Amino acid sequence: MSYSDYTIEGSASVSEALRKLESDWYKILFIAPDDELRGVVTDGNIRRFLLAGGSMDEPVELAANLEPVSLRGFHEGAARELLEKKQISCVPMLDERGKIHALVFPEETIHRLARDIDAPVIIMAGGCGTRLQPYTEILPKPLIPVGGVTITEQIMRRFKKFGCAQFSLVVNHKRSLIKSYFSEVASGRGLEFIDEEEPLGSGGGLSFFRGRFDRPVFVANCDSVVEADYADILSFHEKSGSLVTMVCCKKKLDIPYGVVEAGENGAISAIQEKPDLRFLTNTGLYVVSPEFIEMVPYGRFSPMTELIGYCLEMGEKISAYTVEDECFIDIGQLDDLKSVEGKLR
């Protein structure tokens, strides 16, 4: 099945729509001129249209529901939650322009632009997971189970949907357990381990890969999941000409009080009633160019943000790719771990 199997022109006749619905597994069609979602058509919509006096020769857009359920951003877990809540067969996921970039069905997701990116993926998994104690006193953070599988497998699954098959896991704390687990499961295929003898931070482990890649590489932390179109992220990076693309999450913080600005003498200069703060936060997912990896010093503790800050000082271009708040799932804290089970579906 392809994206075009589930779209139809609004000017097509009702009879044409019925014929197409008969061949569709999920019995649903979307009216999306230039991929911009305008309406949805099911056999139920057509039946009600005909009972109200409509004709089989009239444009199907007259029979369509022009307020279809949809979801902004790329979050399959949230889309499937909507499927169950609304008892419908499909939720379109839309980009910021209102264009469909994927159709989420109960058992599968169909992308409008399906292309395998086959980019290497490096997962930084050497930390001790202090935020997840006491769980990490027994299991290393990469093996913490979330939604029935380990967090590492949750991360890998999302890359594999876009064709990524080459994974490198930088390991340190309890690495023998991590290696043993993945030697026993199918998800360990295509996965190599890089031993980090001393803690090198979220970026220092990239020094192990100097001279190895000639194309952009995904770098991910192993305590968060980003629901996004990874092909689009990679394309954004390549078009931007950036040394690093940082995937950032849109955050909004509501202040429930009036905020007062006052000078040194106590004189109030402004009052803002219950403002909200809007900002971008780092999700821990990056695309890095090979040139960036070559800049990472050997054997030195180097947080990723420190390395990026150095690049900015040197005048290098660093870009931000933004995702919606609900598309960033952080499992680095105990409370988060308990609350994200339903989101990772």
- Two tokens at 297? 């010093």
* Alpha helix positions (H), the chain: 14-23, 43-51, 76-86, 151-160, 175-184, 201-204, 230-240, 290-295, 304-313, 334-339
What is the model's pLDDT at position 332? 64
The mean predicted confidence, pLDDT, of the chain is: 88
SS3 139: coil
pLDDT at 128: 65
pLDDT digits (tens, 9 = 90+) for 198-243: 889 999 999 999 999 999 999 999 888 898 889 989 999 999 999 9
Confidence of residue 18 (pLDDT cuts 50, 70, 90): very high
**316 has a pLDDT exceeding 60:** yes
The pLDDT of residue 211: 94
pLDDT value at 333 more than 90? no
Q: What is the mean pLDDT of residues 291-315?
A: 95
What local confidence, expressed as pLDDT, does residue 318 receive? 97
- Of 36-40, 127-131, 150-154, 193-197, which range is least confident? 127-131
Confidence of residue 111 (pLDDT cuts 50, 70, 90): confident
Kindly indicate the confidence band of residue 169, based on its pLDDT and cuts at 50, 70 and 90.
Answer: very high
> Quick one: pLDDT band at residue 10, thresholds 50, 70, 90?
very high
pLDDT of res. 344? 59
What is the pLDDT, as a whole number, of residue 105? 92
So what's the pLDDT on residue 274?
84
> What pLDDT score was predicted for residue 49?
95
Candidates 149, 159, 87; CA nearest to 116 is 159
Is the confidence at residue 336, as pLDDT, over 60? Answer: no
Q: Is pLDDT of 337 > 60?
A: no
* pTM listed for this prediction: 0.79
Strands (E), the chain: 7-8, 29-31, 39-41, 71-72, 91-94, 100-104, 109-111, 121-125, 145-146, 149-150, 167-171, 191-195, 217-221, 224-226, 244-254, 258-262, 268-273, 276-288, 318-323, 328-330
* Per-residue pLDDT at 133 exceeds 70: no
Q: To the nearest whole percent, how much of the chain has pLDDT over 70? A: 92
Q: In this structure, how many other beta carbons lie within 10 angstroms of the beta carbon of residue 322?
A: 16
Please give the span between the terminal C-alpha atoms of the chain, in angstroms, as a whole number: 22
Does position 1 have pLDDT exceeding 90, yes or no? no
Location of structure tokens 């139920």: 44
Q: Which tens digits make up the pLDDT trace of 280-295? A: 999 999 999 999 999 9
Count Cβ atoms below 10 Å from residue 190 Cβ, excluding itself.
Answer: 13
Residue 342: band (very low, low, confident or very high) from pLDDT cuts 50, 70, 90: low
The two three-digit tokens of residue 139, written as one number: 């299991």
Flag whether pLDDT at 28 surpasses 80.
yes
Phi, psi of 110 (to 5 degrees): -110, 120
Phi, psi dihedrals of residue 147, rounded to the nearest 5°: 65, 35
**Mean pLDDT across the stretch 319-340?**
75
CA torsion sign for 28, 31, 32, 37 is negative
Q: Are strands 224-226 and 217-221 parallel, antiparallel or unpaired?
A: unpaired
Residue 345 has pLDDT above 80, yes or no: no
| Mean pLDDT across 147-170 | 90
Q: Give me the mean pLDDT over the 23-36 stretch.
A: 91
